[in-house]
Amino acid sequence: MPGSDVFTPPTSFSSQAHVGSLDEYRSLCRRAEEDPENFWAEMAEAEVHWFEKWSHVFEWNPPFVKWFVGAKTNAAYNCLDRHLETRGDKAALLFEGEPGDRRSISYRELHEMVCRFTNVLKARGSRPGDRAIIYMPMIPEAVVAMLACARLGVTHSVVFGGFSAEALKARIQDLDASLVLTADGGWRRGKEVRLKDAVDEALTDCPGVRNVIVARRCGSSVQMTAGRDHWWHELEEGVGADCPAEVLDAEHPLFVLYTSGTTGKPKGILHTTGGYLTYTTCTMKWVFDLKEDDVYWCTADVGWVTGHSYLVYGPLSAGATCVLYEGAPDYPAWDRWWEIAARDKVTTFYTSPTAIRALIKQGDSYPAKHDLSALRLLGSVGEPINPAAWEWYHRVIGKERCPIVDTWWQTETGGIMISPMPGAVPLKPGSGTFPMPGILPEVVDFEGKPVAPGGEGFLIIKRPWPSMIRTIWGDPQRFEQQYFSRIPGIYFTGDAARCDEDGYYWILGRVDDVMNVSGHRLSTMEVESALVRHPAVAEAAVVGKPHEITGQAVCCFVTLKQGASTDHSALGKELRQWVAHEIGPFARPEEIRFAESLPKTRSGKIMRRLLREIVTSHTVTGDVTTLEDLGVVTKLAAQHDDD
């Protein structure tokens, strides 16, 4: 350890790593930068099965790109069929249900499950090019649903089970989905989350949905609409497991994943097949140094991109054994994760800084109860990890022997962009360290000029990569405007960053009006739109405020309509519940502040920057020259929480 703030990879780890030294890492990066076509062709040949090869590696017509042009492949084939000869009896999924039920599912068994369910989809009339919504708990059938859609060429969109019926409806309508795959419910902290009820509520305004297939998880009674709704297990009766994978173009749409934008409307990030699979498989091996006998656990829900890339597609394509856990980390007690990790002998553990901070708060006694000696690598994802949390994770969970891969990437990037290769790169707590091979980031100023080392600026990516976003579903103009208009032809990440004198990248957070709550990106506009739909609310402004557990918490400034209740305590509770119903429980505001008026520019734009200062420091020191009425800010800064 050359300094207290730098942790070199243990020799025992580096000596067995796929990339075992800085020289090897730099050699990979040099090849990728100097000859990207040949580099990515080599990676694609090595990591993906192709039914037909490409005519050329990529076409770049900013902002649009195609990778492995003309090639044919299938994501489910790569995740399952190609492993049957060498890994057929190896566990693909180790499922842990919250009530305590467990299942080990081999690659051969998972292949049969996916083929049988793909035949069910075919029998219900699904065809390549159709779109499906998957709204399920964290059970094996959720993975089966994703892979069956991929096998058939049905573009899927997984909606996080914590989203409300309203949020689900918006996604069904935007995607124009004809199929919904769901469950009666799922278990969360000992209670049933009733998913089918939310589907029924959403579908009152979604006439294009012809089929709803319901997996039985909780066994409770649900309403089934004749002709539209079908039980998964009943449709599978007597169905065979012979189902060849569809031969699909490399650019066939694999999935659309909705994420918050800076407008109230969620945006559908489109990822295609060949490039995405190549990049997630490569980074699975580079970042997690995957070994044949590893037991790998990514705690992300399949409703988020981490669950797509590093719980389903990347690990299964690479032939990993993956832990899949249904419930919460604190049920029935705060050692649930460590109990599972010890029992399944987890070697690689990948979670969010939000979860790590919550675990720290409970003390060291919970992990101390369990034998975590099988762990060899730890990871974090979703937001920058603060050094104190990094050091606890390293000391208490990793016993100072496990490197930590602090990964930076986005829904839009499809895969990890900046992260240590754990056998090669010395670690600095809080830094994502270096980019992956073929990724060319830079920190620039407002004019797109590079800032000096150590200076803060905007993070951009200068060259296309295989797993990058292809477009926003149904809105190519919004895609170009949001990601490629700031610096023409260059991908603008929307994150602030600095690069230090050693070339280490430090991600500083969002530069637009998007909050990061427990690793979930949430648009301020989306919350504001929900609030003003309430009959008592005239106007709302929403900002993120620092929170020791969730990273950011939702803080709302609200002005009320004439005649609205003056009982601010009761109304505050009602508005919090309203937002949770409209968007989902994770979006529930921590704080509602009532105001006579909001700070605005002379042109009428709400100055959220000033509100952010108020909730973080209770003072305003920034520029107020464009403010219409300084008295508004003075009152808000002096105001204590009304609720």
Residue type, 311: L
Are 404 and 383 within 8 A, CB to CB? Answer: no
3-state SS, 527-565, equals: HHHHHHCCCCEEEEEEEEEEECCCEEEEEEEEEECCCCC
- pLDDT of residue 640 exceeding 60, the answer is no
Are 344 and 94 within 8 A, CB to CB? Answer: yes
- pLDDT of residue 393 exceeding 60, the answer is yes
pLDDT (0 to 100) of residue 361:
84
- pLDDT of residue 63 exceeding 50, the answer is yes
Residue-wise pLDDT tens digits, 484-510: 998 988 999 999 899 999 999 999 877
Residue-wise pLDDT tens digits, 472-491: 999 999 999 999 998 988 99
Is residue 641 classed exposed, middle or buried when 0-12, 13-18 and 19+ CB atoms within 10 A define those classes? exposed
How many angstroms separate the CA atoms of 570 and 207, rounded? 37
pLDDT (0 to 100) of residue 3:
35
State the pLDDT confidence band at 641, using cuts at 50, 70 and 90: very low
Are 569 and 536 within 8 A, CB to CB? Answer: no
Residue 199: phi and psi, rounded to 5, are: -60, -45
Residue-wise pLDDT tens digits, 360-374: 888 899 999 999 999
- pLDDT of residue 643 exceeding 50, the answer is no
Helix (H, G, I), strand (E, B) or coil at 43: helix
Interstrand relation of 253-259 and 267-272 (parallel, antiparallel or unpaired): antiparallel
Residue-wise pLDDT tens digits, 605-635: 677 778 888 888 777 776 554 566 677 777 8
Lowest model confidence (mean pLDDT) among 34-43, 393-402, 554-563: 554-563
pLDDT (0 to 100) of residue 389:
87
Interstrand relation of 537-547 and 551-560 (parallel, antiparallel or unpaired): antiparallel
DSSP code string of 585-617: GGG--SEEEE-SS--BBTTS-B-HHHHHHHHHH
Q: Which residue has the higher pLDDT, 93 or 262?
A: 93
As a whole number of Å, the end-to-end CA separation of the chain is 49
Interstrand relation of 179-183 and 211-215 (parallel, antiparallel or unpaired): parallel
How many angstroms separate the CA atoms of 147 and 155, rounded? 11
pLDDT (0 to 100) of residue 289:
98
CB atoms within 10 A of CB 193: 18
Lowest model confidence (mean pLDDT) among 307-321, 375-389, 627-641: 627-641
What is the separation of C-alpha 35 from the centre of its chain, rounded to a whole number of angstroms? Answer: 30
**How confident is the model over 383-408, as a mean pLDDT?**
92
DSSP tag of 205: G
Q: Which residue has the higher pLDDT, 142 or 623?
A: 142
Tell me the CATH number for domain 514-638: 3.30.300.30
Q: Sheet harboring 102-106: ordered strands across?
A: 102-106, 91-96, 321-325, 295-298, 348-351, 377-380, 404-406
Are 407 and 348 within 8 A, CB to CB? Answer: no
pLDDT (0 to 100) of residue 261:
55
CA dihedral over 475, 477, 480, 485, signed as positive or negative: negative
Pairs from 165-168 (Cβ < 8 Å, separation ≥ 24): 165/197, 165/198, 165/199, 165/201, 165/202, 166/202, 166/581, 166/582, 166/583, 167/266, 167/582, 167/583, 167/584, 168/133, 168/135, 168/198, 168/199, 168/202
Share of the chain above pLDDT 70, in %: 95
State the pLDDT confidence band at 1, using cuts at 50, 70 and 90: very low
